[in-house]
């Protein structure tokens, strides 16, 4: 065979192979999967074979379904709902995943002096944010509330009060994001971002080989997601979670608002100066729990707490006294990429 013809044929075959490979893979794939009453958004940086992608999506579906099956209070057949319905003081066996999250939840309850409390479920219902209506008086409800009234022993949970009920919503989304991140990493993709309802894990770098840049939204009620960005941050191999009073709230007849975050000490919605707080940590479950806790504590107590917990960085967006603007305050090392100190509401 003519040498030139042979080289030409090899080039055509190589090009064909390259095009075939390209057609079989997706560049920087990005998709959403429904979960926990919201969506899980995932982006991978790099080219991923379609077959691998389909397998990965299946694994993520399974991981998310497992988390939901443990920790959703919105379905009756989940582990948490069965525990909540179990009005007995006998040990109730739970799965290792449920036990892992409960162990963290109780550790954060102790570390935050009860600002975080997984037993707030009857209060969440009472204030109209939960799956059930609770008509009992606040004093009656408080008898069954308190993180010291539930114990975790050898993968069983034991109630001290038969009506004690758990709500892990302040930590479960973060745990779910950690689980998805783990599945993605274990499948050989170090560069990715995963988000569920504002809780995020960013691995490695973005499709431009830079740090992942994330917008922290302005905590103004009624805005669409991401409509107004307060500040942007750049992270890599970190988790980030945000809590606030601007998305999930109710309005009283006098026009005042109250949010879904409950102060377990009073049994009432938290009334701190924090409009929103974003926390960065190694694990999303931890960032999630701390963000909720800081909303309860308020900025002054919250900053003191953070001084003793340097493994967390936080950005507080605070209601200012005039009621028309926000101010912000961040711990040292919070990875801000563009700073705006004040913006109008």
Q: Which of 170, 202, 281, 330 binds Mg ion (CB under 5 A)?
A: 170
User: Under the criterion CB under 6 A, does residue 298 sit at the interface with ligand AMP?
Assistant: no
Q: Which stretch binds ligand AMP (CB under 6 A): 36-44, 57-65, 79-87, 166-174?
A: 166-174
Q: Which of residues 104-123 bind ligand AMP (CB under 6 A)?
A: 116-118, 120
Residue 288 C-beta: closest distance to Mg ion, Å: 4
Using DSSP, state whether 195 is helix, strand or coil. Answer: strand
User: Under the criterion CB under 6 A, does residue 134 sit at the interface with ligand AMP?
Assistant: no
CA 24, CA 325: separation in Å to the nearest integer?
A: 51
User: Under the criterion CB under 6 A, does residue 192 sit at the interface with ligand AMP?
Assistant: no
Class of residue 58 by CB neighbours under 10 A (exposed 0-12, middle 13-18, buried 19+)? exposed
Residue 20 C-beta: closest distance to ligand AMP, Å: 46
Which of 321, 248, 330 is closest to 294 using CA atoms? 330
Residue 143: enclosing H or E segment and its boundaries? none
Q: For 115, which DSSP code?
A: S
Residue 92 CB neighbours (<10 A) = 17
Q: Which of 238, 274, 288, 318 binds ligand AMP (CB under 6 A)?
A: 288
**Residue 169 touches which member of ligand AMP, Mg ion, none, C-beta under 5-8 Å by kind:** ligand AMP
Alpha-carbon Rg for the chain in angstroms: 23
Write out the two tokens for 179: 């689980």
Q: Which of 79, 178, 245, 288 binds Mg ion (CB under 5 A)?
A: 288
C-alpha 322 chain-centroid distance: 31
> By CB under 6 A, how many residues form the interface with ligand AMP?
18
Which residues is 193 bridged to in the sheet? 43, 202
Segments in the chain forming alpha helices (H): 3-23, 50-71, 79-85, 96-111, 121-126, 138-142, 169-186, 284-297, 299-307
Residue 176 C-beta: closest distance to ligand AMP, Å: 12
Q: Which stretch binds ligand AMP (CB under 6 A): 132-140, 162-170, 213-221, 274-282?
A: 162-170
Q: Which of 124, 141, 214, 216 binds ligand AMP (CB under 6 A)?
A: 124
Which residues is 343 bridged to in the sheet? 326
**Contacting positions for ligand AMP (CB under 6 A):** 116-118, 120, 124, 129, 167, 169-170, 243, 260-262, 264, 288, 291-292, 296
């Amino acid at each position: 065979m003519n040498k030139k013809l042979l080289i030409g044929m090899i080039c055509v075959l190589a090009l064909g192979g390259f095009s075939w490979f390209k057609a079989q893979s997706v560049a920087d794939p990005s998709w959403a999967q429904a979960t926990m009453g919201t969506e899980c958004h995932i982006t991978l940086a790099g080219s991923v074979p379609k077959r691998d992608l389909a397998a990965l999506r299946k694994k993520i579906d399974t991981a998310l379904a497992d988390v939901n099956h443990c920790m959703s209070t919105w379905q009756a057949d989940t582990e948490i709902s069965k525990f909540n319905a179990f009005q007995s003081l006998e040990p109730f066996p739970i799965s290792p995943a449920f036990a892992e999250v409960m162990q963290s939840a109780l550790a954060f309850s102790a570390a935050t002096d009860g600002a975080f409390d997984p037993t707030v479920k009857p209060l969440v219902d009472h204030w109209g944010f939960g799956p059930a209506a609770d008509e009992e008086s606040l004093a009656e409800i408080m008898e069954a509330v308190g993180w010291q009234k539930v114990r975790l022993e050898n993968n069983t949970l034991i109630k001290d009060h038969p009506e004690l009920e758990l709500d892990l919503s302040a930590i479960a989304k973060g745990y779910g994001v950690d689980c998805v991140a783990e599945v993605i990493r274990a499948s050989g993709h170090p560069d990715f971002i995963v988000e569920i309802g504002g809780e995020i894990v960013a691995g490695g770098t973005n499709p431009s080989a830079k740090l992942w840049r994330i917008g922290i939204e302005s905590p103004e009620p009624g805005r669409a997601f991401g409509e107004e960005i307060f500040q942007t941050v750049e992270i890599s191999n970190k988790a980030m979670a945000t809590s606030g009073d601007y998305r999930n709230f109710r309005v009283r007849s006098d026009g005042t608002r109250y949010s879904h975050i409950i102060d377990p000490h009073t049994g009432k919605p938290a009334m701190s100066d924090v409009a929103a707080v974003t926390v960065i940590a190694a694990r999303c479950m931890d960032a999630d729990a701390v963000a909720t806790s800081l909303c309860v504590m308020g900025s002054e107590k919250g900053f003191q707490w953070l001084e003793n917990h340097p493994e967390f960085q936080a950005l507080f967006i605070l209601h200012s006294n005039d009621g028309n603007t926000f101010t912000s305050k961040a711990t040292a090392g919070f990875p801000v990429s563009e700073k705006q100190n004040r913006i109008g509401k």
